[in-house]
Amino acid sequence: MPGMDRKKVLFIDRDGVIVKERQVDTYESIEYIPHVFEALREISKRTDFSLVMVSNQDGVGTRSFTYEGFSGPAERIFSTLRGEGIVFDDINIDLSFPEDGLSTRKPGTGMIDRYRELPYDMESSFMIGDRLTDMMLASSMGCRGFLLDSSLTVPDELKSTVALQTSSWLDIAAYLVDDGSLCHRTAEIRRRTNETDIILSIDLDGTGEGCFETGIGFFDHMLSQIVRHSRFDINGRCKGDTFVDEHHSAEDTALVLGEAVRKALGDKRGIERYGYEIVMMDDVVATVALDFSGRPELMWDVDFTMEYIGDFPSELIRHFFRSFTSASLCNISVSATKGGNSHHTAEAVFKAFARAMRKAVRRIPGDTRVVSTKGIL
Ligand SMILES: [Mg+2]
pLDDT tens per residue across span 303-324: 999 999 998 999 999 999 999 9
Is it the case that residue 8 has pLDDT exceeding 90?
yes
Q: Which residues are catalytic?
A: 13, 15
State pLDDT tens for residues 263-311. Answer: 999 999 889 999 999 999 999 999 999 999 999 999 999 999 999 999 8
Mean pLDDT of 65-73: 89
Return the CATH class of domain 186-360.
alpha beta
- Helix (H) or strand (E) holding 66, with range, is none
- How many angstroms is it from 131 CA to the middle of ligand 1? 6
Mean pLDDT of 360-375: 81
pLDDT band at 3 (very low <50, low <70, confident <90, very high): low
pLDDT over 90, % of the chain: 79
* Average pLDDT, rounded, for the chain: 93
In this structure, the strands spanning 297-301 and 331-336 are parallel
Tell me how far apart the alpha carbons of residues 85 and 40 are, in angstroms, rounded to a whole number. 9
Q: Which residues on neighbouring strands pair with residue 196, listed in sequence order?
A: 240
Is it the case that residue 67 has pLDDT exceeding 90?
no
Is it the case that residue 2 has pLDDT exceeding 70?
no
Tell me how far apart the alpha carbons of residues 322 and 250 are, in angstroms, rounded to a whole number. 11
- How many angstroms is it from 165 CA to the middle of ligand 1? 14
- How many angstroms is it from 235 CA to the middle of ligand 1? 26
| Architecture label for domain 9-180 | 3-Layer(aba) Sandwich (3.40)
Distances (CA, A) of 40 to 54, 112, 145, 293: 16, 21, 16, 33
- How many angstroms is it from 92 CA to the middle of ligand 1? 13
Residue 178 confidence (pLDDT) = 78
Is it the case that residue 342 has pLDDT exceeding 80?
yes
Residue 5 confidence (pLDDT) = 79
Q: Comparing C-alpha atoms, which of 263, 313, 280, 12 is closest to residue 138?
A: 12
Residue 366 confidence (pLDDT) = 65
Q: Which residues on neighbouring strands pair with residue 7, listed in sequence order?
A: 120
Distance of CA 366 to the CA centre of its chain: 19
- How many angstroms is it from 164 CA to the middle of ligand 1? 16
Residue 209 confidence (pLDDT) = 93
pLDDT band at 344 (very low <50, low <70, confident <90, very high): very high
Is it the case that residue 355 has pLDDT exceeding 60?
yes
- How many angstroms is it from 21 CA to the middle of ligand 1? 7
Q: So where are the chain's domains?
A: 9-180, 186-360
Tell me how far apart the alpha carbons of residues 112 and 244 are, in angstroms, rounded to a whole number. 65
Task: Describe the crossing of helices 217-230 and 342-360 by its angle, rounded to 10 degrees.
Answer: 30
Mean pLDDT of 126-152: 96
pLDDT band at 108 (very low <50, low <70, confident <90, very high): very high
Is it the case that residue 349 has pLDDT exceeding 80?
yes
Is it the case that residue 356 has pLDDT exceeding 90?
yes
The answer to whether 234 touches 222, Cβ cutoff 8 Å, is no
Mean pLDDT of 9-28: 93
Residue 372 confidence (pLDDT) = 83
- How many angstroms is it from 22 CA to the middle of ligand 1? 9
- How many angstroms is it from 85 CA to the middle of ligand 1? 23
